[in-house]
Amino acid sequence: MTASLPAPAPRSGNRRRRHYGYAVVVSILAILAQYYMFLPVFRDRLQDYLGIGDARFGTLFALAPLAGAAAIFASGPLLARLGPVRLLRLSLWGVAAGLLLLALAGRHWLLVLTGITVCGMAGGPLIIAMNAYLVKLFPRDRRRTLSFSLAIMSIGGMILPLLAELLLALPGRWPAVHFAHVLHLPCLLLALLLAAAGFLYRSRPTAAATVRPHRHEAAWNWRQFLLPWAVSWLVLLLVLHSAVDVAIYTWIPRFLDSPGLTRPLAASGLVLSAMSVAYVVSRGILSRLPEAWGRRRLLLLPGLLGGSLFVAGVLTRDAWFAAAGYVLGAFLWSAEYPALLGTLADRSQRGFGTAMALQQLLTGPLLAFLVFGMGQWTAWAGPERMGPGMAALGGGFLLVSAGAALWVLRNHPRVPTQNA
């Protein structure tokens, strides 16, 4: 009778818990690095402080995605040569530099624009590195892991708008506190924190994260963006979803406080926080479902139903109904992105990093166009007629669902029908 070997389960369990710890830390750092995206919560107070109108307000947040798209050309080779963790550090230092510019900008609109743009330039590679790192840590549970990370980031999206609203209320309660303090001091503190994280954060190397890239992976060129049709189509759907989602998020605080709505909402940060709660709940549920559950339904229904709710709420011209449509719609369409991303990871395999880079590359210009275009529409038509522009943005989710339906029809034989 032979002696039994030691059970490897404890070591395996400890390793998995350690990997989840890495995922939590990386997700929290990504939350803090995206603080600049919550500046629209300051809405007209920020415009008054900088002395800008709606057109420049849109420009303020339109160049950041363009800068992030431009950085993709550098992030691809850096990801292949340095690995996800080192690229995360470089990106954190870049975001810290942008936040430092915001902290020192004062009332200079161009300096604020530069700081936000630098944050966007570093933020694009950060998201690519984070997603590539998570996929390599959990290669068998891509969709569940990505949903888990997105749920954590949604918690940040719940807390930071509330913090912004609290900061915005401070000058009214304490005369010694001015809006300049509210705008600049948090940027300074976060710049110091992210810079320290870039220097001090060390992830224990894993076999998945330290594999040397193949020669064809290290030498990136434009031909590597020529992906198979099925992969490219998924990338385009992710591009449209991401651009529409962030464009609505950027303008919804200004819209809910606009004079064109009955019962306008001044504390729109609370709505953004509620939207993030919806994201946490939706993606938390999705992260607990089996990997193959509802593959087709999750590609088709969330955008269709969620986008319809949002458009219907906007068309009521009532801020409370619009806010409700936004929160309920977000609960639905938040499940669409990880479903698309998990399907993309399954289809692209080694080319996942390239596909993610292409998504970021294309999302930047489209997002810049939508944010800038909404600003121009508001400046031309007036704040009281923002509704048609917001409804047009919400229609983007309906287009994503229509595109997903075409993808499923063409790739139906490859999708397991018993679990769909």
Of 15, 291, 19, which Cα lies nearest the Cα of 144?
291
CATH number where 243 lies: 1.20.1250.20
Amino acid symbol at 42: F
Asked, for residue 241, whether it belongs to a domain, the answer is yes
Distance CA 194, CA 201 (A): 10
Beta bridge partners of 380: none
Q: Which residues contact 34 (CB under 8 A, 6 or more apart)?
A: 123, 153, 156
Distance CA 229, CA 235 (A): 10
Q: Determine whether 35 is exposed, middle or buried from the number of CB atoms within 10 Å of its CB (0-12, 13-18, 19+).
A: buried
Asked, for residue 5, whether it belongs to a domain, the answer is no
* 3-class SS of residue 262: strand
Asked, for residue 169, whether it belongs to a domain, the answer is yes
State the pLDDT at residue 237.
94
Amino acid symbol at 95: V
Asked, for residue 189, whether it belongs to a domain, the answer is yes
Asked, for residue 113, whether it belongs to a domain, the answer is yes
CB 363 within 8 A of CB 243: yes
Rounded to the nearest angstrom, the gap between the alpha carbon of residue 78 and the centroid of all alpha carbons in its chain is 21
State the pLDDT at residue 258.
84
**Domain that includes residue 77, residue range:** 18-411
State the pLDDT at residue 400.
94
**Tokens coding 386:** 């923002």
Region of residue 294 (phi > 0: left; psi between -120 and 50: alpha; otherwise: beta): left
What 8-state DSSP symbol labels residue 105?
Answer: -
CB 419 within 8 A of CB 293: yes
For the beta carbon of residue 269, count every other beta carbon within 10 angstroms.
26
CB 103 within 8 A of CB 76: no
Asked, for residue 314, whether it belongs to a domain, the answer is yes
Asked, for residue 167, whether it belongs to a domain, the answer is yes
**Tokens coding 295:** 């593959």
Asked, for residue 225, whether it belongs to a domain, the answer is yes
What 8-state DSSP symbol labels residue 416?
Answer: -
Rounded to the nearest angstrom, the gap between the alpha carbon of residue 143 and the centroid of all alpha carbons in its chain is 16
In the predicted model, residues of the chain with pLDDT beneath 70 are: 1-13, 15, 72-76, 139-151, 154, 200-226, 266, 287, 290-295, 349-351, 353, 412-420
C-alpha distance across the termini of the chain, in Å: 48
Q: How many domains, in total, are found in the chain?
A: 1
Rounded to the nearest angstrom, the gap between the alpha carbon of residue 325 and the centroid of all alpha carbons in its chain is 20
Provide φ and ψ at 274, rounded to 5°: -65, -40
Amino acid symbol at 57: F
